[in-house]
Amino acid sequence: MVKTIENRQHHEECGVFGIFNHPDAANIVFHALNALQHRGQEGAGIIASDGSNLRQRKNEGLVRDVFKHADFSILKGPHAIGHVRYSTSGHGGIMNVQPLLFHSQTGSLGLCHNGNIVNALELKAHLEQQGSIFQTTSDTEIIAHLIKRQRGTLLERLKESLLYLEGAFAFLLLTEDELYIALDKHGLRPLSLGQMPSNAWVVASETCAFEAIGATFVRDVHPGEVIRLNLQGLVSDKYAEDCHQQMCMMEYVYFARPDSLIEGISVYHARKACGRRLAVESPAEADMVIGVPDSGMSAAVGYSEAAQIPLELGMIKNKSAGRTFIEPSQDLREEAVGLKISAIRSVVQGKRVVLIDDSIVRGTTIMQLIKLLKQAGATAIHVRIASPEIRFPCFYGVDFSTYDELISAHKTSREVKDIIQADSLAFLSVKGMVDAVGRKPNQHCLACFNGRYPIHLYQPIDEANLEIK
Ligand code: SF4
């Protein structure tokens, strides 16, 4: 009997992509969203502009399903934005699938966002008290209401509105003839600019989207930067002065695709370096190294090289199990277990295994994998995790927002080892991880590892200031 298991553990909220001035804009967005699918699998959408009108198509499901029979001639025009959604806030449902489209007397606005606005509830309550009527339960809509209350050009109104938001966000806004890009002042989420051979501008949550469409990476969007693209060119501005980048470390550890570059660093090489460092910090007596597919593979290569223990394919993804993706509730998550990874008996039987994964959140998945390997005849399983223990929740758009969801929140590593039934368990140190990635500790958010949150979780709103706008 083949026993299998789904290995996705935790998700990041959403991926965004935008393109300005390309004759096949919506089709390009479709291909880019496919490359960003790992960032959100609940819903996908595209809004395109032909210079006079904005049109949209969106639905729940994977990109390829939402646009299965799509006639991109409906999404006419040279400018477009797209989004893949994983809901960590605002719940599911088609109304919250992005981009969102708003019409007013002064024009239309397409809007999508990646991240989490930590003062969203408070802002929303204030806006509702002042007469705003929300169409969705998504945080993203807040920016549209804030923009409506400001005066001046759209760039000025956007900059003013962004000052109210606290949290992690990467916004794309599309009007009939302009594309706006904004990143929060801590730069928690990756966002990169590129160009097509035709010189059309593109922007994406990850550079792997550029590879998929033949675009060239130009630069990363800076923390606190607001960019306006129109037929006159690109204008870069800032909405805040106190900007300091603290990129989410989990982007390097888990979320981003290995073929992406974040702030000039290859995600694959960062993970491999974490694996190498882990081998030095926590060696193990074993016959082989196995990486959890796909999340532990890059670190397993590094561990194997540094420890000089052969890397083997002891587990494979079961492609015939069909499409599954994790729904954002624990019940559905547990139902999904048992579908996607198989142990290869002929490889692991009678062997001592170092099992590498990138992180442990709830512990459910690694426990199932250990069981699979033992049932397939492995004699010892030494679990090595290429990141530190996740002890603290994330409030910036990742779906472990409570302590109860984290096995390491209240348990020692020894207790976790006993629960998951490993023969030994070790995590990479925080210093080891930061050194391996190759940037300074203060350039990262490390809050889920060390509890030091870069953004205050509660920011009282200046009511007087909000009311005049
Ligand atoms: S708390 Fe962790 S997951 Fe959340 S933004 Fe910071 S590093 Fe990323």
Tens digits of residue pLDDT in 355-396: 999 999 999 999 999 999 999 999 999 999 999 999 999 988
pLDDT band at residue 457 using 50, 70 and 90 as cut-offs: low
pLDDT of residue 338: 55
Residue 50: CA count within 13 A, CB half-sphere: 9
Determine the average pLDDT of the residues in 350-354: 98
Given a cut of 50, whether residue 99 has pLDDT beyond it is yes
Q: What tokens were used for 264?
A: 């000039």
pLDDT band at residue 288 using 50, 70 and 90 as cut-offs: very high
Which atom of ligand 1 sits closest to the CA of residue 395? 4
Given a cut of 80, whether residue 403 has pLDDT beyond it is yes
Q: What whole-number percentage of the chain has pLDDT above 70?
A: 89
**Tens digit of each residue's pLDDT (9 = 90 or more) over 419-433:** 999 999 999 999 999
Question: Average pLDDT, whole number, for the chain?
Answer: 89
**Which of these ranges, 1-5, 290-294, 347-351, 463-467, has the smallest mean pLDDT?**
1-5
- 256: Cβ below 6 Å to ligand 1? no
pLDDT of residue 420: 97
Determine the average pLDDT of the residues in 145-155: 93
Given a cut of 60, whether residue 2 has pLDDT beyond it is no
Q: How far is the CA of 251 from the centre of ligand 1 (A)?
A: 8
- 396: Cβ below 6 Å to ligand 1? yes
Nearest-CA residue for ligand 1 atom 2 is 448
Given a cut of 90, whether residue 12 has pLDDT beyond it is no
pLDDT of residue 397: 79
Given a cut of 50, whether residue 464 has pLDDT beyond it is no
Given a cut of 80, whether residue 13 has pLDDT beyond it is no
Catalytic residue among 14, 248, 445, 448: 14
pTM of the model: 0.89
Which atom of ligand 1 sits closest to the CA of residue 447? 1
Which atom of ligand 1 sits closest to the CA of residue 251? 8
- Evaluated on CA atoms 416, 420, 425, 428, the torsion sign reads negative
- 286: Cβ below 6 Å to ligand 1? no
If one compares 353 and 13, the residue with the highest pLDDT of the two is 353
- 248: Cβ below 6 Å to ligand 1? yes
**Tens digit of each residue's pLDDT (9 = 90 or more) over 41-70:** 999 999 999 999 999 999 999 999 999 877
Given a cut of 80, whether residue 91 has pLDDT beyond it is no
If one compares 262 and 322, the residue with the highest pLDDT of the two is 262
- 347: Cβ below 6 Å to ligand 1? no
Given a cut of 60, whether residue 336 has pLDDT beyond it is no
- 249: Cβ below 6 Å to ligand 1? yes
pLDDT band at residue 3 using 50, 70 and 90 as cut-offs: very low
Nearest-CA residue for ligand 1 atom 4 is 394
Active-site residue, 14 included: yes
Exposure string of 431-459, with b = 16+ CB inside 10 Å and e = fewer, is ebbbebbebebebbbbbbbeeebbbeeee
pLDDT of residue 468: 34
Nearest-CA residue for ligand 1 atom 8 is 248
- 179: Cβ below 6 Å to ligand 1? no
**Which of these ranges, 28-42, 191-205, 376-390, 399-413, has the smallest mean pLDDT?**
399-413
pLDDT of residue 325: 38
Exposure string of 65-91, with b = 16+ CB inside 10 Å and e = fewer, is ebbeebebeebbbbbbbbbbbbbbbbe
Q: How far apart are CA 422 and CA 439, in angstroms?
A: 32
In order of their start, the domains of the chain are 15-246+462-468 (3.60.20.10), 270-440 (3.40.50.2020)
**Which of these ranges, 86-100, 111-125, 347-361, has the smallest mean pLDDT?**
86-100
Three-class secondary structure assignment of the chain = CCCCCCCCCCCECCEEEEEECCCCHHHHHHHHHHHCHHHCCCEEEEEEECCCCEEEEEEECCHHHHCCCCCCCCCCCCEEEEEEECCCCCCCCHHHCCCEEEEECCEEEEEEEEEEECCHHHHHHHHHHCCCCCCCCCCCHHHHHHHHHCCCCHHHHHHHHHCCCCEEEEEEEECCCCEEEEECCCCCCCCEEEECCCCCEEEECCCHHHHHHCCEEEEECCCCEEEEEECCEEEEEECCCCCCCCEEHHHHHHHCCCCCEECCEEHHHHHHHHHHHHHHHCCCCCCEEEECCCCCHHHHHHHHHHHCCCECCCEEECHHHCCCCCCCCHHHHHHHCCCCEEECHHHHCCCEEEEEECCCCCCHHHHHHHHHHHHCCCCEEEEEECCCCCCCCCCCCECCCCHHHCCCCCCCHHHHHHHHCCCEEEECCHHHHHHHHCCCHHHEECHHHHCCCCCCCCCCCCHHHHHHC
Strand 216-220 and strand 192-195: pairing? antiparallel
Nearest-CA residue for ligand 1 atom 5 is 248
Given a cut of 50, whether residue 335 has pLDDT beyond it is no
pLDDT of residue 9: 45
pLDDT of residue 90: 52
If one compares 404 and 282, the residue with the highest pLDDT of the two is 282
Q: What tokens were used for 142?
A: 């807040």
Determine the longest span between alpha carbons in the chain, in angstroms. Answer: 72
Determine the average pLDDT of the residues in 453-468: 59
Q: How far is the CA of 71 from the centre of ligand 1 (A)?
A: 38
**Which of these ranges, 53-62, 184-193, 249-258, 449-458, has the smallest mean pLDDT?**
449-458
Q: How far apart are CA 227 and CA 211, in angstroms?
A: 22
pLDDT band at residue 87 using 50, 70 and 90 as cut-offs: low
